[in-house]
Structure 1
Amino acid sequence: MNSSKQFLLSSVTLAVLTLMNQAAQAQDATPPAAAPAKDSVAAELQQVVVTGVAASRGVRKLDSAFSITTASEEQLKQASPSSTADVMKLVPGVYAEATGGQSGANIEVRGFPSGSDSPFVSVQMQGNPIYPVPTLSFFEGSSAFRLDDTIERVEVLRGGPSTIFSSGQPGATMNFILKKGTDTPEGSIRFTAGTGELRRVDLYYGGKIGDGWYGSVGGFYRTAHGVRDAGFPADDGHQITATLTRKLDQGELTLYTRSTSDKNAFYTGVPLISANEGRSISAFPGFDPLKGTLMSGEMRRFTLEAAPGKTLTYDLGDGRGLKGNVFGAEFDQTFSGWTVSNKFNRFDADMNTIAMFTGNNPLTMGAYKAAAIASANGNAATLAAAGRPATSATATFTNGGGAVSDSTQVVQAGLWAVEKKLKSFTDELRVSREWMQGNTVTVGAYFASYSSDDVWYLGNSHLMTAVPNASLINVKLNNGVVVSNNGTDGNVFYAPNASYDGSNTAFYVSNEWKVNERIKVDAGARRERQKIDGSVSNLVSADTDNNPLTVYNNGTSMPNGAYTALGRKDTASSFTIGGNYKLSKDASVFARANTGHTFITFDDLRNAGSQKAVDDRSGLPTPKIKQLEVGFKTVGELYSAYINAFHTEFDGIAFQQILSNGSILNSTSGSKGNGLEWEVSVRPVRNLTLTLTGDYQKSEYKDNPATEGKTVQRQPKLQFRFTPTYKIPLGEDNSVKLYGTYTKIGERWADQANLQYLPSYRTLDLGALFSLGDKIELRLAATNVNNELGLTEGNSRLSSGNSGPINARPLFGRAVEGSLLYRF
C-alpha cells in the first residue's frame, strides 16, 4: 500500500473514532471531572522558555520576540526520534539527516549553507554548550548527547538573540533541560523492545533529600543490532545522570553530572540504482536499501597498515561512539535588586569514529579486474618489478568461498579509523538590574577553553560484494601483482596526527525595555575574541612493505616525525534588536534583526597547511551572517499558531569535501535566502488535535562563480509534518491516545554544484499510548510505516552525479518498538 493510501486510511480511522467518542459523550449525562484539552491549552499559555533570554527566570513563550520551538517529554516520546539529531524534525526550518545512526548527523538550518555535520547547531544541557564548537571533522554536537528519561523538555531557538548569549550561535540552539527533584517524589522504570533486537531499560527517580535539598538520578542501558543488521550489535551502551539542587533565599544552585559510555554503528551509503538523472531511485539487485548494510561480521575487526612494521586493528562495532563525562553547575541569586547567574560545565570525552565510508559506485568484478590490470601496467615501477605486463586476474573470496565470477557486482569502501579526544570548559556569568521602571540591563561574560587531539587513518579501501553483509575479495594479477589482500585494495591516503587548543572570550550587554503593557523591545551587542593553535604532523608517502608488487599499500600516508605549528586570532562583533507587540493577552507579533558570525575552526588550520595561508583573510575569512524575521504568535482553545518569515545573508562560508581518492576540495561561498516557517495546531473537537509544522524557503549561493545562483545544498524548498492526535477516555483513569505523522521532504541537491539530485520523499509514522491509571503506560510506535525509499545523502565521496549504479544513504526501513512504563 502506498503512503498516500495509508495516510488516508489513518485519517479516516481517526475521524471515525472521533465521531464515536463524540456520540458516546453526548449520551453520557455526567460531565467529565477535568478537561484535558483546556489543561493543555492553559499549560501552553503559561509556558516559559529560558533559551536565548537575558533573565534566568525566562519569558513566556508567547511574549518572546524570536522563533523558538519547545517539546515536552511526552512530545519527544511521541516523535519517536531515532537519535538526538532526529529531535530536530520537530523544528520548522531545520532538516536533520539522522540516517547515520545515533551519531554523525548532518543538520541544516533554514538557509544556512553547510555541506555536512552541523556547524550552525549548538547543543546545550542546562543552558550551557556541551562542547563550545558545534562541529569539527568527525564530530557534530548532537553526537555528544543521548536521549533518556532524565530529560524534562527541549527548547530549540532559531536565530534571534542567540548571537549575543552563551556561545553566540547564529543558527539554531538546542537546549535540553533536565528533570530535577521536587517536593513530590517521583520515579519511573521503562522497558523497551523493538526492531533490530532492541532491548532497553530506562530508570529515573527524583525527590526531596532534606530541608532545601533536592536530587534526581536516572539513566539507561541499551543494546540493539539496528534496523540495518550488520551481524553485531550496532548500539551497545549505558548512561547515568544526576542532579543536586539547593533552594536558596531568592535563588537556586544546581549541580549536575552525566556519564555516558555508548558504542554506535555508523551507517553510510548503500548500493542503489539511479535513473532519469537521479529523479528515480530503486533498489540495487539483491540489496534491500531499507534494511541492508555492507558491514558484516567478516570485516568487523579490520587491520590497517599504518607504517612499515606497524599494523593497527579496529572494531567496526565501536562506530561513532561517546565515552565521556559532563559536570556542570548553574547558580541564580537575586539580592537588593541585582540578579546574578553563572553557568559552567566541564566536558571530557573520547569520540572516535571507526566506520565504513563508501567509495566508488558499484561495478562488475570483470570491470574491476580490467581497471586493475590497466592501472598496474600503467605504473612503471610496478611493471618493472613484475617483469612483464599482466594479461589476466583472479578474484577469490577471502573466507575460502572460491572464485568470484566476473558478473558479480562489487563495491569499494574505506574502513576508516579516527581517534578523537575532546576536552572543554565553559563558563557564562550574567548580572542584571532593573535600573528604571520596566527597563533591565544585563551585562555578561562568556569564556570557553577547549582542545582536540586527533589521530586519523583515512582510506584503507576494501573490495567487497555489493550485497548485504558483504564478503571481502582478494585479487591477484598473473604477473605477481597483488591488487587486494585480505580484502584491502587501497592504502591509507590521509593520516595526520594533530593537537589543537582554543579559547574564546566574549563580553556582552543586553537591554530589555517594557515600554507599556503591549510593547516590549530588547537590544544587545557582543564582542568576542578567539585564539586557536594547532600542531599538525607533516606527511610522507611510503610503501609499508617495500614491495612494489603489493600495490594496495604503496604510497601509504604517514607522519614523518616533523610537525607544523599553526595559529590564529580573530575578533568579531554581533548585534541584535527585536520587539514584541501584544495584539491581545494571548496574541502578539514580533520583529527582529541580528548580525552574527562564526569563527574558523581547527580543521581550517589543518586544511590551510601553512601559517601564511592561515593568515590570508581572503582565503580564510571570518564568516558573517545577517538575519531578519517577523512573526505572529497566538494560543487559544481552538487553535495555536506560531508563524514567522525570515531573510538570511551569508558571506565567507568555507566548505570542504574529501573525495574517494583522498583529494580535498575547498571552496568559499556566500548565500542568501527567504522563507516562511509555521507551527499550527487546531483543536476542532474535544480530544482531537491536528498539528501542521514546516517551512518553505528559497536559498541560493552567491559570491562564487562556480556556484552562483545554485540552490543551497541538502536543504528542501518545502518540508512539512502533519500530526493528528486523538485521545479516547476509557473509564475514570484510563485512556488511549492515537497519533500519527505524515512527513513530506521536498527535493534537494546533495552538492553545491547541483549535480547530485535527491528526490522528494514522504513517510508515515504511527503510534498509540495506553494509559492505565497514573501508574502504567504502554506505548507502541512505528516509523516509516510505508517503507519509503527516500535519500538523505548522495555519494559525498564523488564530486558529480551519476545514473545507473550509485552509492547513497537512504532512510531506515519500517521499525516498530513497544515500551512499558511503571511510575512509582
Structure 2
Amino acid sequence: MNSHKHFLLSSVTLAVLTLMNQAQAAGQAAPAAAPALDAAAAGAVATEIQQVVVTGTASARGTRKIDTSFSITTATEEQLKSASPSSTADVLKLVPGVYAESTGGQSGANIEVRGFPSGSDSPFVSVQMNGNPLYPVPVLSFFEGSSAFRLDDTVERVEVLRGGPSTIYSVGQPGATMNFILKKGTDTPEATLRFTTGTGKLRRLDGFVGGKIADGWYGTIGGFARQTQGVRDPQFKADDGKQLTASLTRKLDEGEVTAYVRTTKEKNAFYTGVPLISSDNGRTITEFPGFDPLTGTLMSNEMRHFTIDAAPGKTLTRDLADGRGMDATVFGAEYEQKLGGWDVSNKANYFSGDLNTISMFTGNNPLTAAAYLANANATHNPGAAAGSGSISYVKGGAVDPNQQVVQAGLWSVEKKLSSFTNEFRISRELLKNNTTTVGAYVARYKSNDEWYLGNSHLMTATPNASLINVQLSNGTIVSRNGVDGNVFYAPVAAYKGNNTALFVANEWKVNEQIKLDVGARREKQSLKATISNLTSMDTDANPLTVYNNGTSVATGTNTQLSRDDSVNSFTVGGIYKLSKDMSVFARANTGHTFIYFDDMRNAGTQAALNDRKGVPTPKVTQYEVGFKTVGAMYSAYINGFYTDFTGISFQQITTDAVLNSVSGSRGHGVEFELAVRPVKNLQVSLMGNYQESKYRDNPAISGKLVQRQPKMQFRLSPSYRIPMGDNSLKLYGTYAHVGSRWADQANLSYLPSYKTVDAGILASMGAHWEFRLAGTNLGNELGLTEGNSRLTGAQSSGPINARPIFGRAVEASILYRF
C-alpha cells in the first residue's frame, strides 16, 4: 500500500509542479510544438477545451469546464460505454473522491463521498436528470438515488459535481450531484440500433432516434429491453425489463423549451453476502469450500417464491425475482430563454413509481449443521443431547451433520414514491461584469412503506442453496419449509415532505484573469409521518413452532410525527486564470442535509424527535483549492479538500434489531484527473484520490477511520486509436486499485485492498457499423466491498459472510447507425 501511495502522491506532485512551471513560462517563450494529432484526436481535445457544464453553475446556459471554480467530472456517451459500468452507481468509478459499492446489482448501491461519513446507501449523492432530482431526497432506507435511473443510449453525458456551489442550487446537496443530460433532437438526424450479448446469457437491445420534426421542432425517442441470468446466476432472470424515453424541443428566440418523459419497468436481482474464509485478522480472504465467490449466490429457485407469516391468519407471498426493481415514470420540462436582458430558466419534474425490495439479506456466519442443531437444543430443548432431533432438506433427505449451513432473511419492503420538484432562476448583469442570480426551489414528496424484515431461512452454504427443516426431540419445530426466524420489524408508514428554498448568487468578473462568486440559500423543510405501532405475538398460538414466535405485528394504532427545520447555506469561490486554458481556484462552503423520513421513524416519539441533539440537522463545512489545465499534450484537474461534519445519523439493521447512532467527522485529501497524450493517437489517464477521514463527537468511535472509505484509490487507463482510412480500431483498458477499508465504525472488521483489470476493443467500420468487445475483472480478482453488515463486532477469523465484486464478465455489441 505504501508504494502505491508514494507513487500516486509523487506523480500528482510532479504533475502539478511541471504544469505550474509551464504556466510561469507561458509568455516568456514560444510554446513547444504539440504532438501531431489526427482529426478525431484533435477534435476531442478541442471539445474538452470548449466543454460547457451546466451542473452547479449560476446560469442555466452553463460555464466552460476549465473556467469553473469547483470540482466537476464529466463523461461523454463514449466514455461511459468504454468504462463498462455494471450499473448507474458504477459510473462513479470514473469520479475521483467517490467510492461506489455496486456489487448489489443494478440497484441498492452504497456510495461514499470523500470525507463524508456514511455507512450504507447514498445519503450524500443526489441523482438528477436534466438538472432535476429524480426524487428530492437522496436516500431512504432501502432506496438510494441511483436505483431510480437506468443507463441507455438516450444519455448524452453525465456531470458529477463534488461540493462546490451545489449547496445553494437545486436540492442543496453538499456531497456529490450526479446529473445525467439526455440527448435532444438537432438539425443532424441520429438513429442507432445496438444489440449486446455477454456473460450470464445477456440479451439487450438499445435503440435511439432523434432529429428535426418541423421548423423549430425537434424530438427524440429511445430505450432498451434486456434479460440476463447475471454474472451470479440465481436460477431465474437477474435483470428483466425495459425502458422508454422521449423528448420534444421547441426552439424560441434566444432560448428553447423541452418536455420529456421516461418510463422504466424492470426487475433486478439484489445480491448480498456469500460465504468466505477470513484469516490473518481479515487481511486474507479466500474461497469458501465449494462456493465460487465470484459467480455464486445463495439465491435459488427453491426459495424464489417465499411466504411471510405476517400476522395471525395473514400470510404474504413474494418473489425473489422482483429484487430491488423499479416500475416508475418521470415527466419533466425545462425552459430557458433570454428576455430583455434577463436569463430566465425553469426546470420541473414529476416522479411516481414503486421501488420495492424483495431480496435476500444474509445473517449469521456459516457453521455446521451439527453446531446449528446443538445451539437449537440448548435454546429450545435444554438438557437434551446436542444432536437430539432431526435436520433434513425441505425436498427430502437427511442433512449431513458436517454440512455447512447459513441463515438468510428473505425481506420484503414495498415503497411507493412520488415527488414534484421545480427550480426557477433569473440572472442579469446589473453592473458591468457583475451578474446576479436569484432563484427558488420547491419539492413535494411522499413515501408509503410496508416493511417485513427478518423472516430468516436456514439453508446450505452452497451456490443456489437448498432449504432445511429442523425439529427437536421435544416436538419443537425450529425450522419449517426453511423458515427458522420471525419477522422482527414490520412497520407500515406514510410520509410527506415539503421543501422550499430561496437562493441568491453573484458573479463578479474582476478582470480577464480573476472571477469571484458568492451565494446563499435559505431552506425550510416540513415533514409529517403516520407510523404504525407494533407489538410481538405468536402468529399461530403454538409455542412449539418457535420460528414465528415474537413476530412483529401492527397493533392497529398509529403514531403521528412531524418536524420543521430551517437552515442557511453559503458558498464563496474564486478563479485565477494563469492562461486561457489554465487556472487555479479556491472555494469554501457551508451546507446541510436535513433529517429524513427514517430519522422520524427511528426517533419513535414526538418528544424524541423534537430533541435537536438526539436527532440533529447535519452540517458540513468544506474547503477546496484546485488547479485545471487542458492542452494538446496533457490535461489535469487537481484539487485538495477539507471537510468538517457534525450531527450525522447512522443506522444499521442487524439480524434482529435496528441500531442508531450520531457522530461527526473531519477529513482531508487530494483528488486528481490527469491525462497525457505523448504521441499521436495515444492517451494515458490517471484518476483517483487520497483521503483520510476520522469520526469525532461520539466517544464510542472518536478517532476511528470513517467506515468503508479507502484512503487511496486510482484508475490508470491507457487507450490507443489506430486509424484505417474510413475505419478505425481503438484499444483501451484500465488498471484499478482500491485501498483497504474498515467495514464498521469501530474499525474491527477489515476489508483488504483489491485491484482489477478491464479491457476493450472498439472497431468502427465506415459511417454505419460499430463493434465492441469489452471485459471487466479479467483477472478474476477477489475483492470485498462489504463485510457482514448484519452483525456487529470483529469478524476476522474463519467462515464469514461478505459481499465480493463480480467475477470476470465479457460483453460484445454491434451497433448500426442509420
Answer yes or no: is the 8 Å Cα contact 2:154–2:223 preserved in 1: yes
1:5-54 CA distance string (max 9 Å, x none): xxxxxxxxxxxxxxxxxxxxxxxxxx999522221111100000000001
Give the alignment partner of residue 292 of structure 1, picking from 296, 303, 307.
296
The whole-number CA distance in structure 1 between the counterparts of 2:420 and 2:491 is 26
Note the C-alpha offset of 1:654.
Answer: 0.6
Give the alignment of 1:266-345 within 5 angstroms: 266-345=270-349
1:195-245 Cα deviation digits (max 9, x unpaired): 001000000000111110000000000000100001000000000000000
- What does residue 56 of structure 1 align with? 60
- Matched residue, 2:14: none
User: 1:192-591 counterparts in 2 under 5 A?
Assistant: 192-377=196-381, 392-400=388-396, 402-591=397-586
| Residue 791 (structure 1) aligned to one of 774, 784, 790 | 784
Query: Secondary structure of 2:543's match?
Result: coil
Once the 2 structures are TM-superposed, how far is the Cα of residue 390 of structure 1 from its aligned partner?
Answer: 8.6
Match of 2:134 among 125, 130, 137: 130
Percent identity between matched residues is: 70
Q: Displacement, 1:729?
A: 1.3
Is the contact made by 1:435 and 1:441 (CA closer than 8 Å) also made in structure 2? yes
Shift of 1:335: 1.3
From 746, 755, 758, give the equivalent of 2:751.
758
Contact 1:184–1:207 under 8 Å retained in 2: yes
1:109, 1:171 within 8 Å by CA — same for their partners in 2? yes
Q: Matches of 1:596 and 1:573 in 2, distance apart?
A: 8
Letter in 2 for 1:646: F
Determine which of 604, 609, 617 is the counterpart of 2:604.
609
Select the residue among 170, 177, 182 that pairs with 1:173: 177
| Contact 1:597 1:625 (8 Å CA) reproduced | yes
Correspondence for 1:818 among 809, 812, 817: 812
Normalised by the size of structure 2, how large is the TM-score? 0.95
| CA apart distance, 1:360 | 0.2
What root-mean-square deviation, in Å, do the aligned CA atoms of Structure 1 and Structure 2 show? Answer: 1.2
- The aligned residue for residue 75 of structure 2 is 71
Shift of 1:367: 0.2
Displacement after TM superposition at 1:438 (Å)? 0.7
- Matched residues in 1 for 2:641 and 2:450: separation? 41
Q: Tell me the CA shift for residue 389 of structure 1.
A: 9.2
Give 1:404 deviation, angstroms.
0.1
Residues 1:158 and 2:162 are matched in the alignment: yes
Secondary structure class of the residue paired with 2:536? strand
Q: Aligned with 2:301: secondary structure?
A: coil
Find the residue that maps to 1:169 and give its secondary structure. Answer: coil
Q: 1:805 aligns with which of 799, 802, 805?
A: 799
What's 1:25 paired with? none
Deviation at 1:582, TM superposition (A): 0.4
- Output the CA distance in 1 between the equivalents of 2:71 and 2:387: 66
The Cα offsets for residues 407-450 of structure 1, whole Å up to 9 and x where unpaired, read as 00000000000010000000000011110111100000000000
Question: Matched residue of 1:76: which SS?
Answer: helix
> 4+ residue runs of structure 1 moved beyond 4 angstroms?
31-34, 388-391
Query: What's the counterpart of residue 10 of structure 1?
Result: none
Q: Look up the match of 2:637.
A: 642
Q: For residue 432 of structure 1, what is the amino acid of its counterpart?
A: S
Question: What are the superposed Cα offsets for residues 162-188 of structure 1, whole Å, 9 maximum, x if unpaired?
Answer: 000000000000000000111111100
- Partners of 1:807 and 1:303 lie apart in 2 by 24
Tell me which of 675, 693, 703 is aligned to 2:697.
703
| 1:593-644: CA deviation from partner (whole Å, max 9, x where unpaired) | 0000010000000000000000001100111100000000000111000000
Does 2:119 match 1:115?
A: yes
Report the 3-state secondary structure (helix = DSSP H, G, I; strand = E; otherwise coil) of the residue aligned with 1:559.
strand
CA distance in 2, matches of 1:290, 1:399: 27
- Matching residue within 699, 722, 728 for 1:735: 728
For 2:616 and 2:592, the matched residues in 1 are separated by 11
In structure 2, the partner of 1:771 is 764
Aligned 8 A contact 2:711 2:740 in 1: yes
Normalised TM-score (structure 1):
0.94
Q: Distance in 2 between matches of 1:57 and 1:308?
A: 60
Matched, 1:627 2:617: no
CA contact (8 A) 1:793 1:809 kept: yes
Listed one character per residue, the Cα deviations across residues 764-808 of structure 1 (whole Å, up to 9, x for unaligned) are 001000000121100000000000000000000011122100000
Q: Show the 5 A alignment for 1:17-96.
A: 34-96=38-100
Listed one character per residue, the Cα deviations across residues 245-293 of structure 1 (whole Å, up to 9, x for unaligned) are 0000011100010000010000000000000110000000000000000
Determine the C-alpha separation between the residues in 2 that align with 1:223 and 1:627: 43
| Partner amino acid, structure 2, of 1:559 | A
- Give yes or no for contact 1:625–1:651 (8 Å, CA) kept in 2: yes
Secondary structure in structure 1 of the residue aligned to 2:614 = coil
Task: Give the aligned partner of residue 13 of structure 1.
Answer: none
**Distance in 1 of aligned mates of 2:205 and 2:571:** 44
Q: How many residues align?
A: 784
Letter in 1 for 2:788: N
Would the aligned equivalents of 2:36 and 2:679 in 1 still touch at CA under 8 Å?
A: no
Offset of residue 658 of structure 1: 1.1
Instruction: Tell me if 1:722 matches 2:716.
Output: yes
Alignment check: 8 A CA contact 2:726 2:765 kept: yes
C-alpha distance in structure 2 between counterparts of 1:141 and 1:413, whole Å: 26
Shift of 1:130: 0.4
Q: In the aligned structure 2, how far is the partner of 1:740 from the partner of 1:339?
A: 43
CA contact (8 A) 2:780 2:808 kept: yes
Q: CA deviation at 1:664?
A: 1.9
Deviations 1:553-589 (A, max 9, x none): 1110010100000010000000000001100011000
Q: Find the aligned partners of 1:541 and 1:585 in 2 and give their Cα distance.
A: 69
Structure 1 CA distance for aligned equivalents of residues 387 and 194 of structure 2: 63
Equivalence for 2:671 = 677
AA aligned opposite 1:734: N
Structure 1's unaligned 5+ residue stretches are 5-30
**Helix, strand or coil at the partner of 1:710:** coil
User: What is the CA distance between 1:317 and its match in structure 2?
Assistant: 0.2
Q: Give distance in 1, aligned partners of 2:411 and 2:174.
A: 32
| Whole-angstrom distance in 2 between the partners of 1:63 and 1:228 | 45
SS at the partner of 2:599?
helix
1:324-381, CA deviations, whole angstroms, 9 ceiling, x for partnerless residues? 0000000011111111110000000100000000000000000000000011035xxx
2:707 equivalent in structure 1:
713
Aligned residue for 1:87, secondary structure, equals helix
Return closer, same or farther for 1:660/1:39 CA change in 2, 3 Å cut-off: same
1:83 partner letter: S
Aligned partners of 1:734 and 1:771 also within 8 Å: yes
Could you list the runs of 5+ residues in structure 2 that have no partner in the other structure? 5-34
1:665 to 2:665 alignment? no
Q: Are 1:390 and 1:477, in contact at CA under 8 Å, matched by a contact in 2?
A: no
Question: Structure 1: which amino acid aligns with 2:726?
Answer: D
